[in-house]
Amino acid sequence: MSTLSASVANAILRATTTSNEEFEHVAAEIGFDLSELRDPEARVSYDQYVSIWNEAIHRTGDTYLGLHVAERVNMDQLGVVSQACLLCSNLGQALDLLLRYNRLTNDALDVHLEHTDDEVRLSFKLAFPPWAVPRPEAEFVMAVICHSISRVLGRKIYPLEVRFKHTEPPEIGEYKRVFGSNLVFRHRINELVFSSTLLDEPSSNSDPAACAEMEKRSAEMIKRLPPADPLIDKLRKMVFNALGMGDVSMQSIARRMNISVDKLRKELTTRRTSFRFLVNSIKRDIALVYLEDRSWSLADVAFVLGFSDTSSFNRSFRGWTGETPTEYRRFFFGDPE
């Protein structure tokens, strides 16, 4: 399964709790080992990461939680890669290092950088179905990148344009405050656009020797990072595709993978997961994305996910997030549906 640095989970939990007692309580509820959260090489699953956001949204009632958490988190808290980026000679080197060692921070994200003579475009998506990143997590990543670029260069930097995959919410004042006024919604992918002239700007924190040491440590850590699990990756894609055909039984998926049901069950058990858990996590991830598109009715989302009616979908979604689909959509977009 895809994983993230425990440092990221720790930083987000700290930013969304108001006391150490609350932090420890929430961490225990999600299933975190507190000792691992303090280990710079420990990993947490992507499902646990999603649970952090769902729980924090439910508890704080903050519509712009991703933006606000990014402001409370310091780059130094996000692990060795972020710390190394701060020490680079210029922004171009920092972004190059970020991409080369992104798996250390979050191997659930597929991050892509491209630039022309005029622009630098930094985009990201999930590395597995449904590929789209839910709104709070996407806004957190985009805001963290913007704040980090400003910190590297020692001055406030606004992107040339910020492109969100999700629907425009009723009020965008917080977006303008964080990103500036050039905002695009319902874009094909989450993307930040900066002037290419920034790449050669020197870092205000440049320390070549310390940067080299941190990069060496990053290289050593990434060698110890477990590779992506091909079975889980293949299984997620098969389940995602099967949802559109209406048959996501374990028997059907095992047959398509050309293994027996018993073999598949055994393989999942050794990975401390189950077929039902994986199917539900994929349905949850799809639901979070589709509910952010107001062209989809709740009945349509329920149908695509294989539920017989919206009542069944409501019960499952509440179990995943603590909210009903209607509450989730109204929370972010004020929809009356």
CA distance 287 to 297: 11
- Kindly report the CATH number assigned to the domain that includes residue 239: 1.10.10.60
Specify whether 220 is located in the same domain as 252. Answer: no
**Do the domain assignments include residue 4?**
no
> CA distances (Å), 229 to each of 43, 89, 211, 233, in order?
14, 35, 31, 6
Mean pLDDT computed over every residue of the chain? 91
Query: Which residues neighbour 327 within 8 Å (Cβ) at sequence distance 6 or greater?
Result: none
Number of structural domains in the chain? 2
| pLDDT higher than 60, residue 337 | no
Q: Is-contact 273 248, C-beta < 8 A? A: no
Tell which of 204, 224, 244 closes a domain. 224
Read off the pLDDT of each residue in 133-147 and give the average, rounded to a whole number. 95
**Is residue 83's pLDDT more than 60?**
yes
More confident residue, 246 or 204: 204
> Number of helices and strands (H, E) in the chain?
18, 7
Please indicate, yes or no, whether residues 145 and 265 belong to a single structural domain of this protein.
no
Q: Does 213 share its domain with 79?
A: yes
pLDDT of residue 172 exceeding 60: yes
Which distant-in-sequence residues (6+ apart) come within 8 Å of 79 by Cβ?
5, 7, 8, 40, 104, 105
Predicted confidence band at 335 (pLDDT cuts at 50, 70, 90)? low
Mark whether 75 and 220 lie in a shared domain.
yes
Give pLDDT, residue 292.
84
Give pTM, 2 decimals: 0.91
Q: If pLDDT is split at 50, 70 and 90, which confidence band does 293 have?
A: confident
The three-state secondary structure class of 168 is coil
Q: Which residue has the higher pLDDT, 293 or 113?
A: 113
DSSP string, 14-51: HHT-SSHHHHHHHHHHHT--HHHHT-TT-EEEHHHHHH
Kindly tell me if the per-residue pLDDT of 253 is higher than 60.
Answer: yes
Query: Is pLDDT above 80 for 116?
Result: yes
Strand, coil or helix: 197:
helix
Is residue 22, in this structure, part of any structural domain at all? no
Domain boundary among 195, 224, 253: 224
| Residue linked to tokens 């477990």 | 226
Residue 31 lies inside a defined structural domain of this protein: no
3-state SS track over 238-289: HHHHHHCCCCCCHHHHHHHHCCCHHHHHHHHHHCCCCHHHHHHHHHHHHHHH
Please tell me the predicted confidence (pLDDT) of residue 193: 98
| Average pLDDT of the residues in 65-71 | 96
- 115 belongs to a structural domain: yes
Regarding whether 270 and 210 lie in a shared domain, the answer is no
Assigned domain for 16 exists: no
Indicate whether 240 and 190 sit together in one domain.
no
At residue 333, does pLDDT exceed 60? yes
| Structural domain range at position 89 | 68-224
pLDDT at 324 over 70: yes
Q: 119-126 and 109-115: which strand pairing?
A: antiparallel
Residues 307 and 255 in one domain: yes
* C-alpha closest to that of 145 among 110, 183, 167, 178: 178
Is 251 contained in some domain? yes
- What tokens appear for 329 in the block? 């959509």
Pair 205, 252 in one domain: no
Do 304 and 195 share a structural domain?
no
| Per-residue pLDDT at 269 exceeds 80 | yes
With respect to residue 21, please indicate whether it lies within any of the assigned structural domains: no
pLDDT reported for residue 233: 86
Whose tokens are 């060795």? That residue is 80
pLDDT at 155 over 90: yes
Does one domain contain both 205 and 259?
Answer: no
Out of 224, 244, 277, a domain closes at: 224
* pLDDT tens for each residue of 36-49: 887 888 999 898 99
pLDDT top residue among 105 and 246: 105
pLDDT at 126 exceeding the cut of 60: yes
198-245 pLDDT, tens per residue?
A: 999 999 999 999 999 999 999 999 999 888 788 888 899 999 999 877
pLDDT over threshold 90, residue 321: no
